[in-house]
Structure 1
Amino acid sequence: MKKFFFIISFLYTSFLIAQNGVSVNKIITPPEKVVFTFQKEYPGKIPVWTLKYVGDDDDEIRYEAKFNAAKNTNALAVYDNLGVLKAYEQQIPLSQLPQKAQAYLKKNYAANAIKEIAVVVDDRNKTTYEVGIQKDSKFYDVVFDKNGGFDVIIEKD
């Protein structure tokens, strides 16, 4: 009986230890350069930091700062490990989408399918609009260019 208890305890402990290494988007503290850049660009804002691996082989690290840009407006700033801003995403209302994008959404999706809308500016100053759509129990990002032209649909996990 003692051996049985020992084996069960060992397996349970091994399982718990293995779980600690699996998390990809856990809350973290980024390098000082990243924190300094964020505080300089968004003074007084309190972020929740997560770590994300990107790139062809998941070999690049990105630090994502989620914060409230204004009352009832969420934002996300993405930095590389040197503190360089790679992208900025902010929630917007449907009325701030270009008319062309609004027309596309009205024609192709029910109003209640739209779950979130954001404007995204990347490190090359390229502006796109991402609209989160839920359809048939799947979540998609419908992406529009800065003029509201349809660009692509990306299925999310």
Structure 2
Amino acid sequence: MKKISVILALFGFSFLLAQEGTNMKKTVTPPEVVKVAFEKEYPGKIPVWSEEYVGDDNDELRYEAKYNVNKTTKALAVYDNLGNMKAYELQIPLSKLPVKAQTYLKKNYPSKAIKEIAVVVDDKNKTTYEVGVEKDSKFYDLIFDKSGGFDVSIEKN
């Protein structure tokens, strides 16, 4: 009986790990044109590549290069399949957020709820700020405009 319980427990644990793995992005090798574009823009940086489908019908493929800028700062560069950069995301400290965004966060969230902060520049040179927060056991991306005005909250799975 004890062996059956152990086997069932291992099976359940394996099932949970498999489910969790389906939500994670898998490491991929992008097309050469994408790798060359990244290496030209960020020489000497070693990325971990993943891919994601975006767009209204999830029909646009994007390659994401996560890498370390230095020992404490991470970045993400996003490319289309032709090697055109679509967005750049840089991890920043709270103090680098516009004051208006800092005030909003202090008013609406405890400091321990803030999990990550980044400045994002898209391919049209539009700058926004993304703040990942946890509230009621759910994770949200709060989006702020360039001046720090609150724009939208997006629940993440």
Q: What is the rounded CA distance, in whole Å, between the counterparts of 1:70 and 1:38 in structure 2?
A: 17
Structure 2 unmatched runs, 5+: 1-18
Q: Percent of aligned pairs with the same residue?
A: 72
Tell me, yes or no, if structure 1 residue 116 matches structure 2 residue 116: yes
| Alignment partners' CA distance in 1, 2:24 and 2:94 | 31
**Aligned residue number for residue 90 of structure 1:** 90
Match for 1:128: what amino acid?
T
Local SS of the residue matching 2:154: strand
The alignment's C-alpha RMSD in Å is 1.4
Distance 2:60 2:148 in 1: 30
The runs of 5 or more residues in structure 1 that have no matched partner are 1-18
- 2:103 maps to what in 1? 103
Runs of 4+ in 1 over 3 A off after TM superposition: none
Q: TM-score, normalised by structure 2?
A: 0.84
Q: Distance in 1 between matches of 2:25 and 2:110?
A: 31
Contact 1:114–1:134 at 8 Å: present in 2 too? Answer: yes
Residues 4-19 of structure 1 aligned to structure 2 (within 5 Å):
none
Higher-Rg structure is 1
Match of 1:67 in 2: 67
Shift, 1:117, TM fit = 0.3
Partner of 2:29: 29
Residue 71 of structure 1: CA displacement?
2.0
Figure out how many residues of one structure are paired with residues of the other and give that number. 137
Q: Which residue of 2 aligns with 1:140?
A: 140
Q: Distance in 1 between matches of 2:135 and 2:101?
A: 18
